[in-house]
């Protein structure tokens, strides 16, 4: 006990309760679980984004297609677009039943089997969405690379911003958590989206980032493709994670 305990007792103890209240242990465990869970969400989001970007470039070369994303666009993605939502994931309040989940093995790594599966699914979904959008733009605009790359660039950014909401929980559906319950996430994705619009529509930025002002028709196609990673993430929660986490959950 931090208040009533002797100096000798506190010096030899593994844990000192500063308020002499055993209930503090429960609160500390809960806070620790929330922090660890948020670290996993942060790592999962960034890794799936980066692996997806690598796959997009690799598969386009393998399929002998023009590269959909330029180095300056990839730099913008990694430094600006991905950063804000990833940081917002670190502010999540925790899942409703986080204290009902059995404690994890201390030797279990942050990137466990469930995360490996999730990263693979999300990376493939991102790659599929961007390559489909890129291929559509190439056909629609007779091989105009400037427009096609802008479509691919926008699709990837918008897909990552939308699926960031799905990454807020490894097990709970986005619709169960609520879309706007994390105010910082809403602000982060809004800021990233506004910055995307500036890169696309501000004339002096277009030559720097090699972008083209998109039309309403382009946006309608982009929105359709960028929903793919969100759906993949929600389906992954419904089936794969349910099986992987079943043995870790306590019965009600």
Spatial separation of the C-alpha atoms in residues 153 and 16, rounded to whole Å: 52
**Average pLDDT over the chain, rounded to an integer:** 86
Residue 151's pLDDT band (cuts 50, 70, 90): very high
Q: Percentage of the chain surpassing pLDDT 90? A: 49
Residue 105's pLDDT band (cuts 50, 70, 90): confident
User: How much is the average pLDDT of 39-53?
Assistant: 92
* Confidence check: pLDDT of 22 > 80: no
* Confidence check: pLDDT of 251 > 50: no
Q: What is the pLDDT of residue 43?
A: 92
Residue 111's pLDDT band (cuts 50, 70, 90): confident
Count of CB atoms within 10 A of residue 74's CB?
Answer: 18
Q: Residue ranges of the domains in the chain? A: 44-248
Most confident of 58-67, 88-97, 100-109, 110-119: 58-67
**Can you read off the two tokens belonging to residue 210?**
């090699």
* Residues sharing a CB contact under 8 Å with residue 143, sequence separation 6 or more, in sequence order: none
H helix runs in the chain, sequence order: 7-12, 23-62, 71-76, 83-89, 113-140, 145-166, 174-177, 183-201, 206-209, 216-236, 242-245
Length of the chain: 252
* Confidence check: pLDDT of 247 > 60: no
**Can you read off the two tokens belonging to residue 27?**
């609160």
* Residues sharing a CB contact under 8 Å with residue 249, sequence separation 6 or more, in sequence order: 97, 100, 101, 102
Q: What is the pLDDT of residue 239?
A: 76
Spatial separation of the C-alpha atoms in residues 43 and 183, rounded to whole Å: 20
Q: What is the pLDDT of residue 3?
A: 67
249 beta partners: 101
Is residue 157 within 8 A of residue 77, CB to CB? The reply is yes
CATH number of 44-248: 1.20.1110.10
Q: What is the pLDDT of residue 144?
A: 92
Q: Comparing 189 with 239, which gets the higher pLDDT?
A: 189
Q: What is the pLDDT of residue 52?
A: 92
């Amino acid at each position: 006990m931090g208040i009533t305990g002797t100096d000798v007792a506190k010096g030899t103890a593994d844990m000192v309760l500063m308020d002499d209240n055993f209930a503090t242990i429960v609160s500390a465990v809960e806070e620790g679980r929330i922090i660890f869970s948020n670290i996993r969400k942060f790592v999962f989001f960034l890794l799936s984004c980066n692996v997806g970007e690598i796959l997009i470039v690799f598969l386009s070369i393998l399929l002998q297609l023009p590269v959909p994303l330029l180095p300056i666009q990839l730099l913008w993605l990694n430094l600006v677009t991905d950063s804000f939502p990833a940081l917002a994931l670190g502010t999540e309040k925790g899942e409703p039943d986080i204290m009902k989940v059995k404690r994890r093995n201390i030797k279990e790594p942050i990137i466990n089997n469930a995360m490996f599966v999730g990263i693979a699914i999300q990376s493939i979904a991102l790659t599929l969405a961007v390559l489909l959008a890129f291929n559509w733009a190439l056909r629609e605009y007779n091989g105009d690379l400037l427009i096609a790359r802008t479509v691919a660039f926008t699709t990837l950014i918008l897909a990552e911003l939308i699926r960031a909401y799905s990454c807020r929980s490894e097990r709970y559906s986005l619709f169960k958590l609520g879309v706007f319950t994390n105010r910082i996430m809403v602000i982060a994705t809004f800021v990233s989206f506004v910055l995307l619009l500036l890169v696309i529509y501000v004339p002096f930025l277009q030559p720097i980032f090699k972008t083209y002002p998109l039309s309403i028709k382009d946006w309608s196609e982009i929105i359709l493709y960028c929903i793919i990673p969100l759906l993949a993430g929600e389906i992954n929660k419904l089936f794969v994670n349910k099986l992987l986490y079943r043995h870790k959950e306590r019965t009600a």
